[in-house]
Amino acid sequence: MKEKEATQHKTGFPPSNLPRDPETGYFLDIPARIREIYKHNCFMSDYFHINIDEIHCGSAQVSLYIEHDKHANHRNVVHGGALTALADSVLGVTGASVGEAVVTVSFSMNFISNTSFDGTVRMISNIKHHGRSTMVIVGEMYDDRNRLLATMMASMVNVDKIEGIPRKW
């Protein structure tokens, strides 16, 4: 038990019992490992209920069901902060897809259109630059009708490696 606690404290991620490749030590199901890590993210899972839909090497898609009582602003439209939170949430998942724990240092979002309530909004991201210490991630946000709602670009700092997830898979 103390060994598991030490592992979690050192890396910040909970240990896993998911199967690994015996030769490389990499997880056999990398998206499952990333979902396992992020199910402990209270902001994404408990507060905003952001779903991780897809994870590929260097890209991800997350989504949010837009509800009036949770996401409306004083003008009775979807609050830009809710959409920004969705965009920000995809960043860590995208970094994890290449084995990096990342933090945001710069974030820019261009709002193009708003969306209606009682629908799902999705953010699709991919890595444009993956250096030794930094990463640039871009993304596009769409509604249920596949209308472009926003674009995003973020600069990240790679703060740690995520054990068991390779840079390429």
The one-letter code for the residue type at 23 is E
Chain-centroid distance, C-alpha 130: 16
Confidence (pTM)? 0.89
Task: List the chain pLDDT tens, one digit each, 169 residues.
Answer: 444 444 444 557 889 999 999 999 999 999 999 999 998 888 787 777 899 999 999 999 999 998 888 888 888 888 888 899 999 999 999 999 999 999 999 999 999 998 888 899 999 999 999 999 999 999 999 999 999 999 999 999 999 999 999 999 9
Set out the domains of the chain in order of their start, with CATH numbers: 17-161 (3.10.129.10)
Return the SS3 of 94.
helix
The span from the CA of 120 to the CA of 61, in Å, is 12
Question: What per-residue confidence (pLDDT) applies to 149?
Answer: 96
The structure tokens listed for 32 are: 């499952």
**150 DSSP β-pair partners:** 111, 141
In this predicted structure, what is the pLDDT of residue 70? 83
Spatial contact of 122 and 147, defined as CB atoms under 8 Å apart:
no
Tokens 């598991």 sit on residue: 4
Per-residue tokens: 9: 């404290």
What is the per-residue pLDDT for 7? 43
134 by Cβ neighbours in 10 Å (0-12 / 13-18 / 19+) ranks as middle
Q: How many CB atoms lie within 10 A of CB 49?
A: 12
pLDDT value of position 108 = 97
